[in-house]
Amino acid sequence: MSNFVIAPPAQASIPVAGGGEFPVRRVYCVGRNYAAHAREMGHDPDREEPFFFCKPADSLVTGDADMPYPPKTKDLHHEMELVVALKSGGANIPVDTAMSHVWGYAAGLDMTRRDLQNEAKKAGRPWDMGKGFDHSGPIGLLVPASALPDANKGKIELKVNGQVRQTSDLSNLIWSVAETISYLSGLVTLEAGDLIFTGTPEGVAACVKGDVLEGFVEGVGTVKTTIV
């Protein structure tokens, strides 16, 4: 018997390749972690420390399910990303031990209401409603860390309706996976179940209803969703 006064919400989770579910605690996202994307958004990547925002754990969309076109936007953008899943955490994790906290990886989409994000930037307001809306995080199957022995190398690509829209390589990450974990753990205590969307390469653009998004990270796998 629990002492909750209403039924507790479901535990968010993402499916693992080969079976099982990875329980999700928090979903962190890195902003502007590829130089060419920072430049396309009007920033100088050489002058910035990494920065972070969050999505709710229950905004993840799994199993190649459809993504409803969200309300209050006319500019829904795709951001194709490598997602890191942590099996342990801590505070002030050194770069040289950071990778020991990684359980595995997935391909994910940081879907963004760009018009709301841009309005928030201009007004100096939080990005939450631009980034953390319902169904804003389609994500593919999680694979164990051994599938990607070098997390800083490998093709990352997104096709929309069969046409390549984003293509880059994990070697273009400004802050490596280890550096990202280390830096973030200086801001918040990381724990098992945390996910980190590591940022998107250049080529972000608007999606419309009916678009089929198919992302791929070499060594990791795919993410697929249809905007409905």
Under the rule (CB under 5 A), what is the footprint of Mn ion?
Answer: 79, 110, 200
3-state secondary structure of 127: coil
Q: In angstroms, what is the minimal distance from the CB of 31 to Mn ion?
A: 7
CB nearer Mn ion, residue 83 or residue 86: 83
For residues 24 and 201, give the distance between their C-alpha atoms in angstroms, rounded to a whole number: 25
For residues 85 and 144, give the distance between their C-alpha atoms in angstroms, rounded to a whole number: 9
Q: In angstroms, what is the minimal distance from the CB of 196 to Mn ion?
A: 11
For residues 31 and 2, give the distance between their C-alpha atoms in angstroms, rounded to a whole number: 39
Give the contacts of 12 (CB within 8 A, at least 6 positions apart).
23, 24, 57, 58, 60
Q: In angstroms, what is the minimal distance from the CB of 56 to Mn ion?
A: 15
CB nearer Mn ion, residue 79 or residue 194: 79
CB nearer Mn ion, residue 79 or residue 214: 79
CB nearer Mn ion, residue 168 or residue 200: 200
102 near 86, Cβ under 8 Å? yes
CB atoms < 10 A from the CB of 137, how many? 31
Q: In angstroms, what is the minimal distance from the CB of 200 to Mn ion?
A: 5
Q: In angstroms, what is the minimal distance from the CB of 226 to Mn ion?
A: 20
Taking CB positions, which residue lies at the least distance from Mn ion?
110
Q: In angstroms, what is the minimal distance from the CB of 123 to Mn ion?
A: 20
CB nearer Mn ion, residue 79 or residue 157: 79
DSSP string, 33-87: -BHHHHHHTT--GGG---EEEEE-GGGEE-TT--BPPPTT-S-EE--EEEEEEES
Give the contacts of 150 (CB within 8 A, at least 6 positions apart).
none
The two structure tokens encoding residue 36: 């060419």
> Are β-strands 60-61 and 137-138 bridged in parallel, bridged antiparallel, or unpaired?
parallel
CB nearer Mn ion, residue 101 or residue 131: 131
